[in-house]
Amino acid sequence: MSGGKRPVLVDQGLALDLFLQALLREPDPPPPAAPVQEVAPEPEAPVEPAQVSAPAAAPDLPEAAEPATPAPVPERFDIPAWAGEPFQVLLFRAGGLTLAVPLVELSGVLEWPEHITPMPGHADFYLGLVNNHGIKVPVVDTARLVLPARALARLAGEDPLARVNRIVLIDEGRWGLACDQVAEVVTLEPGAVRWRTERPRQPWIAGTVVAHMCALLDAGEFARRLRQGRPAGGD
């Protein structure tokens, strides 16, 4: 691919604001129930003798309503055992947005190849197949999968192949995440991540790296959802 590339048009501040506030925000707790006030019973009126009359026809009763489908219970995610000690993450950018992937879940980083095999008939977030040590690895446009709708609209009309230049490998090299730039490897203390133990939306986000204002990728969950064909949304 040619060296000249157009600049990324995503506003980083807008992307962070939408991504971290809209996508990472946990549901607000329900408001406390109002206290129940006891009401003194009204005195009973004297009962008049009932008048005998012909039995009335039974009224037409409405059909019983279908029972409401219970809301799905959010799946719980445990904080990984390796996060109990300092651990390293790789920071990379996709569509101008910074993400972090733990090194224990990283399978490598590839330079963008000269040739990538198209995947006709697949979803538009598939960029193609690359050959890595004899294995054909499907590569996805990470920005298209993770950016909020407003930020993603800034990329409308752009050729993603003119934006990306690295491939982050996850799931033992079975998936490639196209990215604009690989930044650096940083060491995080156990308390540096705001973990999400319940993930009603975007369950592939393990938490927020507060100091770097970026989302921590759950690479295993992201790969699982890619295999199921539903990588971005909740269940």
- Taking only the tens place, the pLDDT of each residue in 142-157 is 999 998 888 888 877 7
The residue ranking higher by pLDDT, 159 or 219, is: 219
d(CA 211, CA 191): 11
Confidence of residue 36 (pLDDT cuts 50, 70, 90): low
Is residue 15 included in any domain, yes or no? no
pLDDT of residue 135: 93
Confidence of residue 137 (pLDDT cuts 50, 70, 90): very high
Is residue 154 included in any domain, yes or no? yes
Is residue 32 included in any domain, yes or no? no
d(CA 95, CA 8): 7
pLDDT of residue 64: 56
pLDDT average, residue stretch 56-83: 67
pTM over 0.75: no
d(CA 205, CA 232): 10
Give the tokens for residue 194: 């705001």
Q: Can you give the chain as a three-state secondary structure string?
A: CCCCCCCCCCCHHHHHHHHHHHHCCCCCCCCCCCCCCCCCCCCCCCCCCCCCCCCCCCCCCCCCCCCCCCCCCCCECCCCHHHHCCEEEEEEEECCEEEEEEHHHEEEEEECCCCCECCCCCCCCEEEEEEECCEEEEEEEHHHHHCCHHHHHCCCCCCHHHCCCEEEEECCCCEEEEECEEEEEEEECHHHEEECCECCCCCCEEEEECCCCEEEECHHHHHHHHHHCCCCCCC
Residues in the chain: 235
Is residue 4 included in any domain, yes or no? no
Question: Which tens digits make up the pLDDT trace of 99-120?
Answer: 999 999 999 999 999 999 999 9
Is residue 45 included in any domain, yes or no? no
Is residue 113 included in any domain, yes or no? yes
Percent pLDDT > 90 in the chain is 47
CATH number at residue 95: 2.40.50.180
Is residue 25 included in any domain, yes or no? no
pLDDT of residue 1: 47
Is residue 176 included in any domain, yes or no? yes
pLDDT at 16 over 80: no
pLDDT average, residue stretch 7-35: 48
CA–CA distances in Å: residue 93 to residues 140, 142, 164, 209, 225 = 14, 9, 9, 14, 21
pLDDT of residue 43: 56
Q: How many domains does the chain have?
A: 1
pLDDT at 235 over 50: no
CA 57 to chain centre: 58
Q: Whole domain around residue 119: which residue ranges? A: 76-228
